[in-house]
């Protein structure tokens, strides 16, 4: 073998070793990814099995759990009413504690039930803004008015239009009602009952003002109670459409069990063949989503426009609080007397069908 051939062979071996060195880490990375993906799948399966096990155990003790929930629900609602009368300036702390506690728990439960896209609805978007206002910018007058418009506009009227039911033995229904009801009560107390608000109404060393915030300029009210909140709502609608109908479209098409607000409302409206179903078909079945967005926008504009007179009148605002609570209680009574008995019958039928048929003895 010549010296040139020996050099070439040596260089070839060196190049092969360097190539192998680069290949080994890449193989390790691939192997690590495979191991991690397997562990992730195993963990997901284990959590899914545990969740199903917990759900089955909850069903076995459903009556006892409902009794405990009813007890805690009544005591909690009574405690909120007491606090609303005794220390109205502290009611926003109860709301913040409720939101940061129950909404994450609801996400876990909804994720298991494939309902987690509900948490992209406008009510959660608005409640997040409320939390930012109350905890970070409590003295920002303009942000307060935007939150007031959300709370006493679309969220408040949703209790009446979408029939939110105050049922004390159902955690899910209690949370649904409080998400729509509590914000309005919080901003009602800030508007009319909070001592700091009274101090702003009659500041020392200045002429007496009739109300708070400054409402002498009607253009100012229209801007921050209607136009700016409407812009914030439009931003939410665009983001919701992009996430649900563009980014997650294939995921929703693959799994029809994954629920969104549009799917649920469409299913209920089609079954009942009610006014909403007929209105959504005005432009044909292929444009039902567009009609749904349009109807929701009309509802939002109409309810936000009503927040201006509510903001200016204490008497009207009090009557509106009574109307909201009465609607939630009435819907709860209707649910208990009309809907729940049918659900119990269906559950008993399912249990009877699942039990193995007993063979007769001689």
pLDDT (tens digit per residue) in 182-214: 999 999 999 888 877 766 665 555 655 555 555
| Sign of the four-CA dihedral 105, 138, 233, 153 | positive
Kindly report, residue by residue over 129-188, the tens digit of the pLDDT: 999 999 999 888 889 999 999 999 999 999 998 889 999 988 889 999 999 999 999 999
Helices 288-305 and 261-272 cross at an angle (nearest 10°) of: 100
* 38-47 contact pairs (CB < 8 A, 24+): none
Tell me how far apart the alpha carbons of residues 10 and 135 are, in angstroms, rounded to a whole number. Answer: 70
For residue 73, pLDDT beyond 80: yes
The reported pLDDT for the residue numbered 3 is 54
Does position 323 have pLDDT exceeding 90, yes or no?
A: yes
Instruction: Give the pLDDT of residue 319.
Output: 96
Spatial separation of the C-alpha atoms in residues 46 and 284, rounded to whole Å: 45
Contact status, residue 244 vs residue 117, Cβ threshold 8 Å: yes
Distance CA 190, CA 317 (A): 12
Is it the case that residue 111 has pLDDT exceeding 60? yes
Angle, CA 100 vertex, CA 311 and CA 71 arms, to 5°: 90
Q: How far is CA 139 from CA 120, 142, 147, in A?
A: 28, 9, 12
Q: Can you give the pLDDT at residue 359?
A: 47
Helix 91-113 / helix 62-86 crossing angle, nearest 10 deg:
160
177: left (phi over 0), alpha (psi -120 to 50) or beta: alpha
Confidence grade of residue 18 (pLDDT, cut at 50, 70, 90) = low
Average of per-residue pLDDT across 281-295: 73
Q: Which of 109-123, 247-261, 291-305, 322-336 has the lowest mean pLDDT?
A: 247-261
Secondary structure class of 139 (helix, strand, coil): coil
Q: What is the pLDDT of residue 223?
A: 92
Which residue from 333, 317, 301 is spatially nearest to 226, judged by alpha carbons? 301
Residue 322: asked if its preceding bond is cis (omega within 30°), the reply is no
Summarize the confidence of residues 251-275 as an average pLDDT. Answer: 72
Higher pLDDT, 15 or 252: 252
pLDDT above 50 for 362: no
Residue 201: phi and psi, rounded to 5, are -70, -35
Count CB atoms within 10 A of the CB of residue 230: 18
The whole-chain average pLDDT of the chain stands at 80
Q: pLDDT tier at 258 (50, 70, 90 boundaries)?
A: confident
Rounded to the nearest 5 percent, the helix, strand and coil shares of the chain are 85, 0, 15
Nearest to 184 by CA among 261, 122, 95: 95
47 or 359, which is more confident: 47
CA–CA separation, 233 vs 117, rounded Å?
18
Name 58's Cβ contacts closer than 8 Å, sequence gap at least 6. 65
The SS3 call for residue 271 is helix
Residue 339: the pLDDT is: 83
Q: Which helix (H) or strand (E) holds 156?
A: helix 156-161
Quote the CA–CA distance of 261 and 267 in Å, as a whole number.
Answer: 10
What is the rounded distance in angstroms from the CA atom of residue 124 to the CA atom of residue 154?
Answer: 12
Q: Which of the 8 DSSP states describes residue 61?
A: T
d(CA 176, CA 188): 19
Q: What's the Rg (C-alpha) of the chain?
A: 29
């Amino acid at each position: 073998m010549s010296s040139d051939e020996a050099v070439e062979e040596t260089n070839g071996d060196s190049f092969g070793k360097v190539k192998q060195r680069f290949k080994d880490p890449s193989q390790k990375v691939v192997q690590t990814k495979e191991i991690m993906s397997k562990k992730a799948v195993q963990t997901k399966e284990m959590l899914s099995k545990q969740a199903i096990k917990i759900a089955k155990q909850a069903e076995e003790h459903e009556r006892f759990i409902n009794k405990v929930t009813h007890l805690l629900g009544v005591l909690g609602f009574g405690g909120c009413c007491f606090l609303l009368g005794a220390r109205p300036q502290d009611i926003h702390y109860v709301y913040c504690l409720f939101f940061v506690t129950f909404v994450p728990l609801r996400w876990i439960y909804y994720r298991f039930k494939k309902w987690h896209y509900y948490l992209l609805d406008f009510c959660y978007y608005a409640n997040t803004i409320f939390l930012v206002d109350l905890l970070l910018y409590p003295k920002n007058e303009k942000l307060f008015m935007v939150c007031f418009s959300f709370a006493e506009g679309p969220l408040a009227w949703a209790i009446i239009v979408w029939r939110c039911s105050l049922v004390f033995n159902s955690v899910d229904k209690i949370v649904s009602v409080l998400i729509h009801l509590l914000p309005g009560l919080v901003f009602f107390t800030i508007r009319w009952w909070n001592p700091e608000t009274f101090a702003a109404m009659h500041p020392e060393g200045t002429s007496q003002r009739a109300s708070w915030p400054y409402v002498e300029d009607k253009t100012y009210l229209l801007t921050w109670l209607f136009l700016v909140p409407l812009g914030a709502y439009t931003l939410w609608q665009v983001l919701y459409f992009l996430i649900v109908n563009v980014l997650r479209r294939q995921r929703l098409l693959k799994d029809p069990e994954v629920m969104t607000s549009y799917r649920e409302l469409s299913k209920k409206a089609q079954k009942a063949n009610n006014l909403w179903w007929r209105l959504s078909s005005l432009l044909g079945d292929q444009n039902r989503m567009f009609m749904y967005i349009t109807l929701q926008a009309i509802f939002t504009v109409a309810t936000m426009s009503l927040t201006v007179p509510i903001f200016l009148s204490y008497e009207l605002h009090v009557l509106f609080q009574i109307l909201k609570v009465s609607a939630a209680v009435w819907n709860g009574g209707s649910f208990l007397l009309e809907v729940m008995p049918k659900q119990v019958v269906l559950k008993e039928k399912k249990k009877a069908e699942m039990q193995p048929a007993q063979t007769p003895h001689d």
